[in-house]
Structure 1
Amino acid sequence: MAGPIRIAGFSGYLGDRRSALDEAMAGDPVDVLIGDYLAEFTLAMLAARHRNDPSRGYVEYFLTQLEPHVPAIAERGTRVVVNAGGFNPAGLAEAVRRLVAEAGADLRVAHVEGDNVLPRLDELQAEGHGLASVDTGEPLSSWRGRPVAANAYLGGWGIATALRAGADVVVCGRVTDASLTVGPAAWWHEWEPTDFDRLAAAVVAGHIIECGPHTTGGNFSGFTEIPGLVAPGFPIAEIDSDGTTVITKHSGHGGAVTVDTVTAQLVYEIQGPRYLNPDVTAHLDTVRLSEIGPDRVQLSGATGSPPPPTTKVALFAPIGHQIVTTLYATGLDIEEKVALIRAQAEALLDDAEAELDVSAIGVAAEDPQRQWHATVQVRIMATAAEREPLQRLVAGVGQLYLSSIPGFFTDTAARQAATPSTRIDYWPALLDVGAVGHVVVLDDGSRIEIEPCAAVEKPSQPEHPAPPPWEPRSTRRAPLGRVAHARAGDKGGNSNVGLWVSNPDAWPWLRSLLTSDELRRLMPEAAGLEIVRHEFPNLRAVHFVLRGLLGTGGSSNLRVDPIGKAVGEFLRARLVDVPEELL
C-alpha cells in the first residue's frame, strides 16, 4: 500500500489502563491498533485460569475495551492486532466474533496459534530437544518444577498472513512483543522474509512502542521535564517501505516523544546490541535517532541479519509457596531493631526448610522533623515448599506487639497477607524453530501453516573492549543522574540497565567512567555477578546485563524490587566524580 503505515499502541501489559483504546479511537487516525498484554509471568496466570475453565485463559477485559468501538473500527477500516489470546487465542477470537455479530458489523476475525507447546513437552524431549535453561545450560528434565505453561515466541508472519487473507482483527497468543508491529508492517509494504533490514527496522519500532507510555515519558528519568504525565499518551509508529520510522503520539494527549524518551525504551529489556526475534536479528547499535519536529523522532539506519535457528520458550511451574508481611521501625538503633525482628522471624520458622529475607527499606533521618522521617519499613518475606511454616510465621509476627522492638507497629489500614500464595518459577529455554507450530486460523476454519525463515544464522553479541581512561581534570562529586539518564528492566533472572547522556560532550566521560568494575562499586549487590557490558555510540549509551541479579526470575526471587525496575534510578543516585563543565 502507498505511504507509511501508522501503527498505534493501546496496551503495554496486562493491567494497563483500561481507557487506552477509548483514547486511541478518539485520537489521530491510524491504520492498525495493537495491544500488548503478555509479560513472561502473565501466561502462567492465564494458564491457571484455562486449566480451571477451558473456555477461559485469555484477557477477558479486552472484550470490554473493544465492544463500544466495533462499529467505528468497521467503518474506518482500522485493523486490530493483539496478543490478548494468551493461553486460548481460539476462545478469544470466537468471543470477538460474537461481539461483532451483536453489533451487526462486518469484521473478519482470525487467530494465530502454535505457541503453546505444553502438551508436547514429553514428545519434544523424546525427540532430542533438551529445552536447556538459557541461564544454566541444564536440561529441562533436571528442573524441580512441573510445568503448567510452556509457550514458544512466534514471529510476525502469521499476523501478516492473516491480514493478507482479509482479517480485520487478529488475535494472538505468545508472539514476540515486536511481532505485533512487524506483522502489520510486512503486510502493508509487502515485504519478503529476507528483507532483513526492513524487518529489523520494524522490530526496533515495535520494541519502542510495545510498552505504550514508556515512550511518551512514563517511567522516564527526566520525567520532571515532561508535560501531561498524569496520563501520558500512547505512541504511534509511522513505518515507511524502506523501514525508516517516525515515532510520535496522538496530538493533544499527555506526555512527549523526544530522543531521550525513545532512547529509554530502546535500551529497555535487551541483552545487548543484537536483538533476537524469530523473523530477524536486529542490530540496535546501527540505529540513529533524530528529532524532526515536536513529538516526532525519526529512527534510521537499522540493519538486520538472518534470525537465529531457535526461538525462546518460556516455561513456568509452581515450586512452593510464599508470603510477605511488613512492619515498621522508628528512631534510633534501626540496625539492631531489624536484627531482633530477623531473629524472631527465624525462631517462628522453627528450623523449617524455608528461605527468609528481612529487609529494611529506607534510612531514618538524623534529627527528623516528622515521625515518618525517622521510620523505615521492615519487609519480611519467606518461601517454603509447604504452607504451614509460612502461616505460622505470619501468625507469630502478629503476636509480637508486646515482645519485640520498641515502637513496634504495623499499618492496620493495609491488609496483610494471611495465607501464602503460590510461588512460580521461570525456566527460559530455546527450541528449534522447525519444531514449533505456527498456524493462522481464519474465520471460515481454514488453516494456513507458516514456514520458518529458510535463512538462519547463529547469533552472537559483539565484544566491546574496555574504554580508555578519562584524563584527570577539575571534577565535583555529584549524583550520576545529574548528568545521565537510565532505564532498567528484566530478562528472566537477569537485570539490564542502560545509561546514556543527552549532551554529546559528556559521552567520552560516561563511557570511560562506566566500566564493569565501576558498576560493581556503584552497586555492591552485583559485586559477585557476571556483568556483560556494551556500548551504543549512536545513542551515547552504556548498557549492562547483570546476570542472576533477579535469581531465576521476577516471579520467584525475594528482592523487594523483583524485576529490577529501579536499578537505574539507584545508580543515578550514586555519587561519582563529574567534570565541572558537565554540571
Structure 2
Amino acid sequence: MIRIGNCSGFYGDRLPAMREMLEGGELDVLTGDYLAELTMLILGRDRATDPSTGYARTFLTQLRDCLALALDRRVRIVTNAGGANPTALVAAIRELGLPAKIALVRGDDLTARAAELGLGRPLGAHAYLGAFGIARALEAGADIVVTGRVTDASLVIGPAIAHFGWQRTDYDRLAGATVAGHVLECGTQATGGNYPFFTEIEDLRHPGFPIAEISADGSSVITKHPGTGGAVTIGTVTAQLVYEVQDARYAGPDVTTRLDTVSLRPDGPDRVAIEGVRGEAPPPDLKVCLTSIGGFRNEMTVVLTGLDIEAKADLFRRQFEAGLPVRPAELTWTLSRVDSPDAPTQQQASALLTVVARDPDEKKAGRAFANAAVEVALASYPGFFATTPPGRAHPYGVFTAGYVPQEIAPHEVVHDDGTVEPIDPPRVHQPLEPLPGPAIPGPAIPGAGVGPTRRLPLGTVAGARSGDKGGDANVGVWVRRTEAYSWLVGLLTEDVVRGLLPETVGRPIRITRLPNLLAVNIVVEGLLGAGVAYHGRFDPQAKGLGEWLRSRLVDIPESLLEES
C-alpha cells in the first residue's frame, strides 16, 4: 500500500494544511493541487508581467515552513504549483538551501507553438500531461516533484505507478488510481466541505484533508488523519466523484476511466473503500487549456425598493442605454426579484438590477459605462442607489479547450542533477466515445413511481454537487437508498431538468446514469459562456447550481421519504 495525502485543492487553500498533514499521521507522499482554468489565466498574466513569476507562491510559503519537516519524515511532495512557470518555482525552492532532490516535469507549455498547432494566439496554451513523468522523477529519487499543467489526478497516479511499477497497459490499476486522485484533488470537498447534507457532519469548523491508501490492484481507501474535523463517508466521496465530470468515460492522458464501474463501501469510521474500477486505453489526443484576454468588462448593480419594481427597472434601463455614446459589444441586464411584499426590513423590500458591459475597447466598457450610470443618479426612479459606485473596466478572460496528438507535447523530466529524460507517449489509444446509457432499473419497491406522493424539495431525498468544465456546467445528483434510484432516473429526464432549471432552456443537455453510485450526471453545455473568467452568469462557476436544483419542488413518493 502507498499512503498519499493532499494539502491543497486550489490556489488560496488553507495555508497551514501542509504542516497539518505532515504532523497529523503517517504519509508516503503529500500532493498539492493549485491549478484551475482561472488560475492558469492568472498565472499566465503574472508571468507576462514578470518572467520570474507565474507559479503558485503560496506553495513556496508552505514549503519554506515545512520542507525540513517533510525531509525528516521522508514524505515526498508532488505538486502542480509550477503553473505557468514551473522552472522558476524549482529555482525558488533551491534558494531555500535545504538538501532536497528536486525534479521538474515539463512539456505542457505549448504557447509558443500555439499558432502552428492550429490553437490560435492565446495568452497561454498548456497541455494536460499524464502521470508517467511524475513516476519517473520519483523512481529516480526525487524528494519534490514540480509540474506545470498535468491532470489533477496525475499527482496521485504518478506516485502509485512509481510505488507498484505499473505499466502503460495496466488500465484497471491506472483507472483505480485516477478515481482516488479525483477524490483527493479538491482537498476538503472529500471530507465534508461543500457537502449537501452538511448538517449531518458533527464538526466542520476545520475539516481534515483527505488521504488515499492505494493498493497494488488499484483499489483504494479514502480516509483522513485521526482527530481531524469533517468526515469521510459514502456520501462525501460520492459528492466528489460526481464533481466536474462529463460522461461515464472519464478521459485522461494515460487511461480512460469507466466511472460506471466505481463501487464504494464503508471500511470503518472515516474510511470508504473504492473498488471494481475498470479502465480503457486513453484517447489519442491531449486536451489543451487555452486562456486568452477576451476584452474589458464592467458591472453595476442598482437597488429597486418597494413598489413598481418592473417599471423602475424599465425606466433605469432606458435612461442608461440612452446615455451611452456608443453601445458596448455586449450589454446584458438581470433583474433579481429578491424583494417581498409588506417587508419588515428595507433590504427585504428591495430587488437588484445588474447591468454588465463587455467590449474589446476599454473606454466603451469603462468611462462611458460609468458616466451613463452616474448622470441619471438624480433623474431616475424614486429611491435610486447602487450597491457600489461604477468603476473602471477590467480585463476578463476566456477559456477554450484545444486538442493535440499525444506525441506533440514534449513530456520530459529534468532530474535533480540536470539530466533530461523524455517520457514516451502511450502507444495504444482508443477514440473517446460516449457510453450508451444503461437500462433504467425497475422499481425496487412496489408503487415507487405511482403511489401517493408529496410535493417537496428534491433535496429532501437527493444530494447534488455542481461545477464548471470550461463553458459547460455539470450537476451530479445522487440518492442514498437503492430503492430511490429508479425513481430518480425516471424523474430526471431532459424535459424535467429544463423545467426545474429554466436557465437551461435552449441549451444542449447530456444526462448520464451511474447506477453503482446511485447517481445521475447532468451536463448543460454553454451555460457558463466562455468559462469562469468570462463571468457569464450570477454563479460563474456553477457552484450553487446543484443546490438550486435540490431546492426545486418535485413529487416524491411517500414510500421513499425517510422518517424524521
With the shorter chain as reference, the TM-score category is: over 0.9
> Hey, what's the Cα distance between the residues in 2 that align with 1:117 and 1:495?
26
Alignment length (residue pairs): 555
* Residue in structure 2 matched with residue 278 of structure 1 by the alignment: 253
Cα deviation, residue 368, structure 1: 1.8
* Residue in structure 1 matched with residue 403 of structure 2 by the alignment: 430
> Hey, what's the Cα distance between the residues in 2 that align with 1:89 and 1:37?
12
Q: Which of residues 420, 424, 429 in structure 1 aligns to 2:393?
A: 420
> Hey, what's the Cα distance between the residues in 2 that align with 1:10 and 1:349?
49
Cα deviation, residue 521, structure 1: 1.0
Residue 488 of structure 1 contacts residue 568 of structure 1 at CA under 8 Å; is this kept in 2?
Answer: yes
> Hey, what's the Cα distance between the residues in 2 that align with 1:430 and 1:523?
31
> Hey, what's the Cα distance between the residues in 1 that align with 2:521 and 2:387?
39
Cα deviation, residue 568, structure 1: 0.7
Deviations 1:419-438 (A, max 9, x none): 11112222211110011110
* Residue in structure 2 matched with residue 118 of structure 1 by the alignment: 111
Q: Which of residues 50, 65, 70 in structure 2 aligns to 1:68?
A: 65
The yes-or-no answer on 1:47 pairing with 2:37 is: no
Residue 216 of structure 1 contacts residue 261 of structure 1 at CA under 8 Å; is this kept in 2?
Answer: yes
* Residue in structure 1 matched with residue 374 of structure 2 by the alignment: 398
The yes-or-no answer on 1:446 pairing with 2:419 is: yes
Deviations 1:408-427 (A, max 9, x none): 22346xxx562111122222
What is the DSSP-based 3-state SS (H/G/I as helix, E as strand, rest coil) of the residue aligned with 1:124? Answer: coil
> Hey, what's the Cα distance between the residues in 1 that align with 2:197 and 2:534?
31
Q: Which of residues 309, 312, 315 in structure 1 aligns to 2:290?
A: 315
Residue 381 of structure 1 contacts residue 558 of structure 1 at CA under 8 Å; is this kept in 2?
Answer: no
Residue 357 of structure 1 contacts residue 558 of structure 1 at CA under 8 Å; is this kept in 2?
Answer: no
* Residue in structure 1 matched with residue 469 of structure 2 by the alignment: 491
Aligned pair in 2 of structure 1 residues 257, 86: CA closer, same or farther (>3 Å)? Answer: same
Identity, in percent, stands at 47
Q: Which of residues 549, 558, 564 in structure 2 aligns to 1:580?
A: 558
Cα deviation, residue 287, structure 1: 0.4
The yes-or-no answer on 1:30 pairing with 2:35 is: no
Cα deviation, residue 47, structure 1: 1.4
The yes-or-no answer on 1:340 pairing with 2:318 is: no
Residue 466 of structure 1 contacts residue 515 of structure 1 at CA under 8 Å; is this kept in 2?
Answer: no
Deviations 1:67-95 (A, max 9, x none): 12121111111000110101111110111
Cα deviation, residue 466, structure 1: 7.9
* Residue in structure 1 matched with residue 527 of structure 2 by the alignment: 549
Cα deviation, residue 370, structure 1: 2.0
Deviations 1:328-355 (A, max 9, x none): 2222222222223322332233442321
> Hey, what's the Cα distance between the residues in 1 that align with 2:301 and 2:64?
41
Residue 449 of structure 2 contacts residue 557 of structure 2 at CA under 8 Å; is this kept in 1?
Answer: no
What is the DSSP-based 3-state SS (H/G/I as helix, E as strand, rest coil) of the residue aligned with 2:516? Answer: helix
Task: List gaps (5 residues or longer) in structure 2.
Answer: none
Task: List gaps (5 residues or longer) in structure 1.
Answer: 126-130, 132-139, 141-145
* Residue in structure 2 matched with residue 500 of structure 1 by the alignment: 478
Deviations 1:165-224 (A, max 9, x none): 110000000000000000011111111111110000000000111000111111111111
Aligned pair in 2 of structure 1 residues 28, 334: CA closer, same or farther (>3 Å)? Answer: farther
What is the DSSP-based 3-state SS (H/G/I as helix, E as strand, rest coil) of the residue aligned with 2:323? Answer: helix
> Hey, what's the Cα distance between the residues in 2 that align with 1:258 and 1:378?
42
Residue 394 of structure 1 contacts residue 418 of structure 1 at CA under 8 Å; is this kept in 2?
Answer: yes
> Hey, what's the Cα distance between the residues in 2 that align with 1:293 and 1:362?
47
Cα deviation, residue 573, structure 1: 1.0
* Residue in structure 1 matched with residue 543 of structure 2 by the alignment: 565
Cα deviation, residue 314, structure 1: 1.0
The yes-or-no answer on 1:517 pairing with 2:485 is: no
Question: TM-score, structure 2 length as denominator?
Answer: 0.95
Cα deviation, residue 465, structure 1: 6.7
Aligned pair in 2 of structure 1 residues 116, 511: CA closer, same or farther (>3 Å)? Answer: same
> Hey, what's the Cα distance between the residues in 1 that align with 2:321 and 2:164?
62
Question: TM-score, structure 1 length as denominator?
Answer: 0.92
Q: Which of residues 174, 198, 207 in structure 2 aligns to 1:199?
A: 174
What is the DSSP-based 3-state SS (H/G/I as helix, E as strand, rest coil) of the residue aligned with 2:357? Answer: strand
Deviations 1:134-162 (A, max 9, x none): xxxxxx4xxxxx41100000000000000
* Residue in structure 2 matched with residue 245 of structure 1 by the alignment: 220
What is the DSSP-based 3-state SS (H/G/I as helix, E as strand, rest coil) of the residue aligned with 2:37? Answer: coil
> Hey, what's the Cα distance between the residues in 1 that align with 2:213 and 2:458?
34
Aligned pair in 2 of structure 1 residues 360, 37: CA closer, same or farther (>3 Å)? Answer: same
Cα deviation, residue 577, structure 1: 0.7
- RMSD over equivalenced CA pairs, Å: 1.7
Deviations 1:32-58 (A, max 9, x none): 111101101211221121122211111
Cα deviation, residue 398, structure 1: 3.1
> Hey, what's the Cα distance between the residues in 1 that align with 2:372 and 2:116?
47
* Residue in structure 1 matched with residue 12 of structure 2 by the alignment: 15
Deviations 1:10-30 (A, max 9, x none): 111112122221221231221
The yes-or-no answer on 1:151 pairing with 2:108 is: no
> Hey, what's the Cα distance between the residues in 2 that align with 1:396 and 1:259?
53
Cα deviation, residue 557, structure 1: 4.3
Deviations 1:112-136 (A, max 9, x none): 11000011123334xxxxx5xxxxx
Whichever residue aligns with residue 409 of structure 2, its letter is V
Residue 349 of structure 1 contacts residue 390 of structure 1 at CA under 8 Å; is this kept in 2?
Answer: no
User: Which deviates more, 359-368 or 256-265?
Assistant: 359-368
The yes-or-no answer on 1:109 pairing with 2:102 is: yes
Aligned pair in 2 of structure 1 residues 171, 500: CA closer, same or farther (>3 Å)? Answer: same
